[in-house]
Structure 1
C-alpha cells in the first residue's frame, strides 16, 4: 500500500537526467516580496544560499539554487512567510500558479492547507467551548444531532469526546481523505462518516478504546465538523469565518469547498509528482474541517501568532489565555488540542498533504517566531523541508529538526531523480551489506517505488518492489505494494499471488481482500 506519513507524502520521480537538471536555466524569478524592514532582504538571501546541498554516496556535495531545486522536484510554485516576536517579517514567492503556465505565484495566491485545517478548526471549536455552546469532555453523541458515533464494545466505558477527537485519541478510523475530482459527485458529511456512496473512504468507526492510544484520524475531525454544524445550524465555512477568519482579519482564507469563482481565480493549481496539473486544477474536500482550508502562508502565520499571543495573555480575539495554554499542552502522545507539539520545546504546528498540495506551519510560542510554507505539488514536502531547515538555521531555531535532511528517503529520492532506479537499489543493497543500516526500512523503497508508479515508470517500480520483498520477506505491505505494481503492469496472476502472500502475513489487510475480491480470486 502507499506510504502514510504525517509530514512526508508520496513523491514521483522526475523523468529528467542529472545533466539537464543541473545545467538548465533558472525558472521564473520571484516577482513579489513583502518585507517588514530592509534588513530582512539580507536574511532572505542567506536562506536561499543556505539550502542543504545534493549529497549523494561517493560524490562531492552540489549546491543548487532554490529555483534549481524546484526544477529537480517539478514543483511549479512555492510561497513562504516568516514571523518573529509575534509579527510577520517577510513573505516571498517563487514560480508559477500552474505547471506550464506563466502567471506567477504572489503573496496573495491561495493554496490548500490540507491537514493544517485541523488545528484551525480546533481553534473555532475551543472558542465555542468557552462560550458554553458545548463541552470539551462530554460524550460527543450528546451534541451530535443528525448522526451519532455508533457505540460498540470499545465505547462501553470510555466515550468519544471533543478533547479526544481533536487530540487524535478517540479511537476513530480513517487517517485521511483523497478528495473528489471537480466533476465527481460529492457526499454529504453523514455519508462520509458512514462510508456510503458516493464516498470514496471507509466508514468512520471506533475500533480502539477512546483515550488509550494516539492514532491520527481525519475521520474524527469530520465528526467535529458535523457536531459544529448540528449545534450552530450554519454551513461550516460560515462557522469558521465567524469564529476565526474574520476576527483575525484573514482576507485570503476560506473553508469553502468548492471555491467560489472569485477565490478560484486567486488559487494555485494542484500538481502531480510527474509535473502534470490535476484535472480540474484541484480536488474538492467536503471534509472541510480536516482538509478544506484554502489560505496563504501569511494568513497561516497570523493564526500562529494569535495562538502565541493568546498563550502569553496579550490577545483574546479567538480564545482566552487559559484555553490557549490548554491547546498547547500535550493531550495525547504527539498532540495538544489540534496542534502537533514537540517534546521538551515550545514548538507547535502541523503539516498538510492534499492531492497536489503540500504545506507546513511551524511556530515557537515563547518567542512568537515561526514560518509557514506552501507548495502546489505532490513533491512539495522535500522542497519545503529543505527551505524550512535553512530558515531555521538563519533564525537560530535550535529546536527545529528536519525529518528529511540526510535521511535514507532523501538519498533514495535524489539518487532516483539523478541516476535512476538501478543506482538506488545498488546503494540500498550496499548499505544493508556494509552497515550500520540506520534508518533503512521497507518504507524507504516502498515510497520510492510508489513515486515511480506515479510517474508511469511501471517496469522500474516492479523492480524496486521486488527488491523490497527480497530484502524484507516478512513484511506484508511489501507484498501488497508489489501486487499493486504487477496490476499496473497488467500481470494479474502475479498480482494475485502477492496479495495472497500479503494477506497470509497480515490477515487484517483489508486492502488486499478488496483487490482479490475485485479480481475474482479466492482468499
Structure 2
C-alpha cells in the first residue's frame, strides 16, 4: 500500500447521512482536563472554538466542535498536551478508549506513538555516544555482533553509520512496519532485518550509496535497536527505561511489546479507518526502536521540553547541550538526528502512524513551546491537523501555522465523506480544467481512493483510482494504488496489469514487485 500524502494517512468515508450530523446537537463533553493555572481555560476554549470550519465548494462554512469532528471522522478518542516556556501548561482529552465503548480517555491513557519512537530512541543512542560507547560516524558493522549489514557495491566507499541511520540517509530499505496481531508469531530482530519468516516485511538492505540521499527507513532504526542490544547486552525496553524514560520521570511510557497487563489496562484501543476496533485491541511491534513506544501526550511533551532545555544548556538529564544541538541541526535533507527539523526555524518534531493510531509532536526549541496530540484511529491525522492548526493560531507559532493551512485533500475528503465519490470527481474535473496552477496532484485522488477503499466502498474507490491514472498516466504510484483496489475487488488480472505498469514507470517500486510475486506473476 503506497501513499503520496504521508501527513494525512488513511481516512474512512462515512455515509452521506453525515450531512445531517453537521446540524446535530453536541452533547458529548471532554472527560478530563489539567491546567497549570485557571486562566489557561480561556485559551483552551479559544482553541476549541477556533477549529477551521467544514468548507465545501459553493456552500457556507459550517463550524463544528471537537466532538463533532471526532464523530464525522470516526475518531473514538483524542488526547492533547500543550507546553510553553519549557513547562506543560494544559492537557485535555476527548472521547472514549474504544470505538463503541463508554470508558473515557484520560490524560494517563496510553497510545502508541508509532514513529515518534525514533527520535526518543535517538536520544538514548546519543547519550551512549557521548559516553564513548560508540561513535556516530564509524561503520555500524563494527558494533553489530549478532547480525551485520550486508556489504555490497553501494557500501564499498561510504559506510552505514549511526549518524546516517538516525538521519535517514544510510541508504537502507523498508520505510515502515505494519506490526503483528497479538496472537500471531513474532520474529526476532534478526529475522526482521533479513525479511525471514515470520517477518511480514522485506529484508533491510543498502540500495543507495550511504550519505547521498534522504530516504525514510524504519529498517535503519531497527539496525540501531539491534546494535544497542548487542553492545549493552540488555533488552531494548530496559535500555530505553534506564536511559530516557526513568531519568525524565515518564511513568506512563514504555517500549515493552507487548505491554505487561498493568499497563495494557491503561491503553486506548486501535481503530481502523472503517471505525472498527483492531483485533486484539492493537498490533505488537517488535521493531521497538522504530515504532514501539507506548506513551501519553504529556510524556511526549516532557521529552520535547527536555530536548529544548538541553539545547539551552539548562538541563543534561539525557544529553548535553552539544549533543542536543547536533540532534536539532540538519544532518540530511529533512532530518537532524532522530527529529525532523525545518529550515529557518527552531521547530523540531515527528509524526507517528501505527495500525489504528496516529500521533504528532511539534516543538520550538528556543521558546520551549509546542504540542503533542494522539488519537486512537487511522483517521486521526485529519483531526490532529485541524486541532493542531487551532492551537498554533492561539499560541502564535507562525513557522508552524504556515504548514497547516487547509489543503485541497481536506476538501476532497469532506466531499467524499459528505456527498460521495461522484461529487469529488466532479469537483476535481472542474479544477483540473483550470490547469496545474490550481495546486492539484495525484496524491489528492489517491488519498480519497484509499479513504473509500478502507471504508469498504470498493466500486467507488475503483472509480476514483481509475480517474487518477487517467489524469496522471505517468504516475507510478497511481497505478500501484489502482492495482491494490483491483486486488481488493477480486480482479487479479487487472491488478497484475496495473502493478506491471507501475513497475514499468518506476523500476524501484518494491511494493509492485512484492505484489506481483504474491499474485504469481513475473515482474
TM-score range, shorter chain: over 0.9
Structure 1 residues not aligned, in runs of 5+? none
2:228 alignment counterpart = 228
TM superposition shift of 1:389: 0.7
Q: CA RMSD of the aligned region, Å?
A: 1.4
CA gap of 1:521–1:174, structure 2 versus 1, over 3 A, is closer
Q: Secondary structure at the match of 1:117?
A: helix
Range moving further from structure 2, 11-20 or 40-49: 11-20
Partner of 2:409: 409
Q: Does 1:49 align with 2:45?
A: no
**1:509: how far off?**
3.1
What is the alpha-carbon distance in structure 1 between the residues aligned to residue 404 and residue 437 of structure 2? 16
**Other-structure match for 1:245:** 245
SS in 1 for 2:400: coil
**Secondary structure, in 3 states, of the residue corresponding to 2:446?**
helix
1:170-218 deviations in Å (ceiling 9; x for gaps): 1111111110011110000000000000001110011111111111110
2:474 counterpart SS class: coil
Residue 130 of structure 1, CA deviation: 1.0
Partner of residue 266, structure 2:
266
Instruction: Give 3-state SS (helix, strand or coil) of 1:378's partner.
Output: coil
User: Contact 1:349 / 1:361 at 8 angstroms: preserved in 2?
Assistant: yes
Q: Structure 2: how far apart are the matches of 1:330 and 1:192? A: 29
Alpha carbons 1:2, 1:450 under 8 Å: kept = no
SS in structure 2 at match of 1:400? helix
Q: How does 1:179-328 map to 2 (within 5 A)?
A: 179-328=179-328
1:368 corresponds to 2:380: no
Measured after TM superposition, the shift of residue 62 of structure 1 is 0.9
Aligned residue for 2:177, secondary structure, equals coil
8 Å CA contact 2:393, 2:401 repeated in 1: no
- CA–CA distance in structure 2, aligned partners of residues 352 and 503 of structure 1: 28
Shift of 1:371: 0.5
Whether the aligned pair in 2 keeps the contact of 1:113 and 1:293 (CA below 8 Å) is yes
Quote the Cα distance in structure 2 between the aligned partners of 1:503 and 1:139: 33
SS at match of 2:318: coil
Distance 1:5-1:191 versus aligned 2 partners, 3 A rule: farther
Work out whether residues 171 and 207 of structure 1, in 8 Å CA contact, stay in contact via their aligned partners in 2: yes
Counterpart in the other structure of 1:143? 143
CA distance in 2, matches of 1:419, 1:74: 16
Aligned counterparts of 1:467 and 1:297: Cα–Cα separation in 2: 39
Give the corresponding residue for 1:164: 164
Alpha-carbon distance in structure 2 between the residues aligned to 1:205 and 1:249: 37
Summarize the Cα distance change of 1:185–1:59 in structure 2 as closer, same or farther, 3 Å threshold.
same
Match of 1:181, SS state, is: coil
SS state at 2:47 partner: helix
Paired residue secondary structure (2:399): coil
Judged with a 3 Å threshold, the aligned counterparts in structure 2 of structure 1 residues 162 and 278 are, in CA distance, closer, same or farther, namely same
Tell me, in whole angstroms, the C-alpha distance in 2 between the residues paired with 1:311 and 1:169: 23
- Tell me the TM-score normalized by structure 2: 0.97
Q: What stretches of structure 2 of length at least 5 have no aligned partner?
A: none
Write out aligned runs for 1:5-154 (5 A).
5-26=5-26, 28-154=28-154
- 2: CA distance, partners of 1:274 / 1:33: 29
Higher mean alpha-carbon deviation, 222-231 vs 403-412, is at: 403-412
| Residues in 1 aligned to 2:18 and 2:310: alpha-carbon distance in whole angstroms | 49
Q: Supply the distance in 1 between the matched residues of 2:262 and 2:355 (Cα, whole angstroms).
A: 22
Match of 1:471 in 2: 471
Equivalent residue number for residue 510 of structure 1: 510
Stretches of 4+ aligned residues off by more than 6 angstroms: none
Which stretch shows the higher mean deviation, 429-438 or 72-81?
Answer: 429-438
C-alpha distance in structure 2 between counterparts of 1:510 and 1:327, whole Å = 31
Assess, with a 3 A threshold, how the Cα gap between structure 1 residues 322 and 511 changes in structure 2: closer, same or farther. Answer: closer
Contact 2:16 2:419 in 1 (8 A): no
| 1:9-61 CA distance string (max 9 Å, x none) | 12221235233321334363112110000010000000000001111111111
Partner of 1:455: 455
Q: Partners in 1 of 2:304 and 2:515 — Cα distance? A: 43
- Is the CA contact 1:27–1:68 (under 8 Å) kept in the aligned structure 2? no
Call closer, same or farther: CA 1:250–1:517 in 2, change over 3 Å: closer
Q: TM-score, normalised by structure 1?
A: 0.97
